[in-house]
Chain A
């Protein structure tokens, strides 16, 4: 099992939208609609943003949205804010009670 592939970094200006991709294989992302996304400010507990590809916990802003096409899932953040600057991780269920994470993407708000 290999880690899911994410871009190392993305950036955007306040108010803009950005998209972070997460590429897996037909054995994980492509098979299961069980992709989740997490926001991590270093030193703090990671926060669940999206689960089951598109679902958002009630406490998470609707500026965060998820999607999937084939073996690639995506997280879109609209209306970028300074507080969105963080590391973002995708995760996919990979069958047989195992999970795979992505390598993480650092978001810089310019």
Chain B
């Protein structure tokens, strides 16, 4: 199971910070891509980025260098930081998992959390 958490309201120009708590699979075991995806109001989904434990990250080029994804194995969580937010970053944010190296789909998702800028 995956569960997102974090502030529902962020001021423009500040940093959006979200955490995804993973249950049932130790992140430190490796082999998975831990992923952030978002859905703008009334729009489709947008892939934000992944982290492949222990720390290789990938992000959507459209978000340039504003994205930081990290892992905290002591809490079995991974996190998203999105800098310099604007109203365009208002969205429901989902965390998800790519199930194994060599897979390219997302088998488990959180329910999502709404962030308003």
A contact set with B: CB distance below 8 Å: 1, 3, 6, 32, 34, 36, 38, 43-48, 51-52, 57, 89, 91, 93, 96-104
B106 touches A104 (CB 8 A): no
* B23 at interface by CB-CB < 8 Å: no
| Known contacts A45-B110, A57-B107; A100 and B47 CB within 8 A of each other | yes
| B-side contacts of A44, CB under 8 Å | 111
B contact set with A: CB distance below 8 Å: 2, 37, 43-47, 50, 58, 60-62, 94, 96, 103-112
| A-side contacts of B60, CB under 8 Å | 98
Closest to B59 in A: A98
Closest to B47 in A: A99
Q: Can you spell out 29 A-B residue pairs with CB atoms less than 8 angstroms apart?
A: A1-B61, A3-B46, A34-B104, A34-B105, A36-B105, A38-B109, A43-B111, A44-B111, A45-B108, A45-B110, A46-B94, A48-B106, A51-B103, A51-B104, A51-B105, A51-B107, A52-B104, A89-B45, A91-B45, A91-B47, A96-B58, A98-B47, A98-B58, A98-B60, A98-B61, A101-B44, A101-B45, A101-B46, A102-B44
**A99: contacting residue among B2, B104, B108, CB under 8 A:** B104
Most chain B CB within a 10 A radius of its CB, from A32, A47, A98, A100:
A98
A91 touches B58 (CB 8 A): no
**B66: shortest Cβ distance to chain A, in Å?**
16
Which 4 A-B pairs give the minimum distances between C-beta atoms? A103-B44, A51-B105, A36-B105, A101-B45
Cα A96 to Cα B60 with chains together (Å): 10
